[in-house]
Structure 1
């Protein structure tokens, strides 16, 4: 918020038209993925939804299947000799698919808004190399603190736990397939801090994507 105040007072200037141009030229841009014949921001949003969902789907099954094979099949006697989680796997996959499908629509709203309203930047020279470690610390503090409190509230208030968070804790013997097994609103609430850090302070696009990939992979 300090940056927005500084921008409002004229101490700094954020060139959002330049950011939009950089965003469109960035490899992660999803606006032209599948537009369904729609122009403008609606087409960009639908395209972003498709790209986000397919990427999440590929990442989920790649990481979960490879981890499951290594720990539960190839080296089960070494790591998990007494674990029998077959009953919960189908439950976890079902809720993971439900979560990814519906959460994608919410996450894509933020993704479309980022180049238009956030403080994300694309050239290191905009803030210099010295700011990179500062932005890393800021992102970790912001993301971890808010995610902790969201998670704590989901456990503290019975209504939230029963209606949302209990789905994630249903599986007694967890597997890599459990990583995305959330109610979509639960998952989105815990993901909001990670996706919104760029609205609070400047962060480089590639660093932002790196954090997103690490956070998602860690869940597996």
Structure 2
């Protein structure tokens, strides 16, 4: 986030927002700037990707499903837009620590080389999927579920706008592995930002109802957590999911044959 903050300071915040007497490296100024940059960025990513997915990918036939709620799209957007500022506030200490140099993020690709870059991306993906799987599984514990995660399962037949429709604590907890990783091993800064955007995009894509796994080889379905697998989780609360991959989903092989097909979903909507 220091790259984003530096650009915002240079072109917007220093010349147009903050007084010249307030130094750019002041921790309070950085905290305020990061909060608004992250919150606005969250809104832009969510609303733009979800809207595009809804108009160009999402099959509107799913809205006829008996478990699709009245005014569900509006409700999903309302919950998401209410949660984003709180999730931003919860994430702020992590971004502030990163900007102030406490993480292992680095600038120069030559510092560690390209083989390490590929290795770090692999580690990032595996660490996040494993960690998110166990966090997600813990969120389904009876003592936790009704207080934190139940709101997200209100959307039994989700639309792309359900992607960020969490209790803020729920959304923050499931994002913590992405932030923890950069304090464990080095990761290139631009790659980190790119992966963060990818994760937000993927979160939307697994709620878009586009069951592309129906067209993929069976082995691919067992590796990638797509919309079909995640819809099965929303509808039936089974096979706890990870993030992009299914590496952390130990029930993958057991549940692969139970993932609903597009045809079965449409039949229920008819």
The answer to whether the aligner puts 1:140 opposite 2:142 as a matched pair is no
Deviation at 1:85, TM superposition (A): 5.1
TM-score by length of 1: 0.79
Structure 1 48/81 Cα, relative in aligned 2: closer, same or farther at 3 Å? closer
The answer to whether the aligner puts 1:171 opposite 2:126 as a matched pair is no
The corresponding residue for 2:31 is 45
How many Å separate the matches in 2 of 1:30 and 1:112? 16
- Paired residues of 1:30 and 1:47 also in contact (CA < 8 A): no
Structure 1 82/42 Cα, relative in aligned 2: closer, same or farther at 3 Å? same
Q: Which of 172, 192, 195 is the equivalent residue of 1:188?
A: 172
Structure 1 30/152 Cα, relative in aligned 2: closer, same or farther at 3 Å? farther
How many Å separate the matches in 2 of 1:100 and 1:210? 19
Structure 1 199/213 Cα, relative in aligned 2: closer, same or farther at 3 Å? same
The corresponding residue for 1:67 is 53
By relative contact order (CA 8 Å, sep 6+), the higher-ranking structure is 1
Structure 1 27/87 Cα, relative in aligned 2: closer, same or farther at 3 Å? closer
1:174 aligned counterpart, secondary structure: coil
TM-score by length of 2: 0.65
Structure 1 36/170 Cα, relative in aligned 2: closer, same or farther at 3 Å? farther
Unmatched segments (≥5 aa) in structure 1: 1-22
Q: CA RMSD in A?
A: 2.2
Unmatched segments (≥5 aa) in structure 2: 205-270
How many Å separate the matches in 1 of 2:131 and 2:4? 29
Residues 116-155 of structure 1 mapped to structure 2, 5 A cutoff: 116-155=101-140
Deviation at 1:180, TM superposition (A): 0.2
Aligned residues: 192
The corresponding residue for 2:71 is 87
Output one character per residue of 1:36-70: Cα deviation in whole Å (capped at 9) or x when no partner. 65651111011010011111101111111121122
Structure 1 50/183 Cα, relative in aligned 2: closer, same or farther at 3 Å? same
Q: Which of 192, 197, 218 is the equivalent residue of 1:208?
A: 192
1:130 aligned counterpart, secondary structure: helix
Q: Which of 162, 167, 174 is the equivalent residue of 2:146?
A: 162
